Amino acid sequence: MAKITSERDYRALLHRIDELVEIVDDSTPTTDANYIELDVLSGLVAEYEDEHYAIGRPSLIDAIKLRLYEMGLTQNSLAQMLDISPARVSEIMNNKCEPTLKVGRAISRQLNISPSIVLGV
């Protein structure tokens, strides 16, 4: 199968995909030419994006900040949830220290953050 080799080609395929999305829907047969074209182009674009626009794993600090925002919490309320001092939370959030295993487990459970992110693996 061909591969996208330039940003210009990538943009052109994105435009074509936008056109096809207007034509193809859930009731379109998988044998339809537009459906097949959309499927092939989507695969090519996904491959290009994986190579050129890869999204890395979030850091623990970024994940905590996001969850605090989503849950409407502050660092002080996080300290209370985790049963640690606000100073300790500040040290963790400023990347001055790593959470202990006990605190990491609490972060994972209380904020619903994947253990792999907490452990950095």
Residue 9 has pLDDT above 90, yes or no: yes
Q: How many CB atoms lie within 10 A of CB 87?
A: 10
pLDDT at 56: 81
Torsion angle in degrees (nearest 10) through CA of 93, 82, 58, 101: 100
pLDDT tens digit string along 78-111?
999 999 999 999 999 999 999 999 999 999 999 9
pTM: 0.58
Separation of alpha carbons 10 and 44, rounded Å: 9
pLDDT tens digit string along 20-76?
999 999 899 999 999 999 999 999 999 999 999 888 878 999 999 999 999 999 999
User: Which domains does the chain carry?
Assistant: 7-52 (no CATH), 60-119 (1.10.260.40)
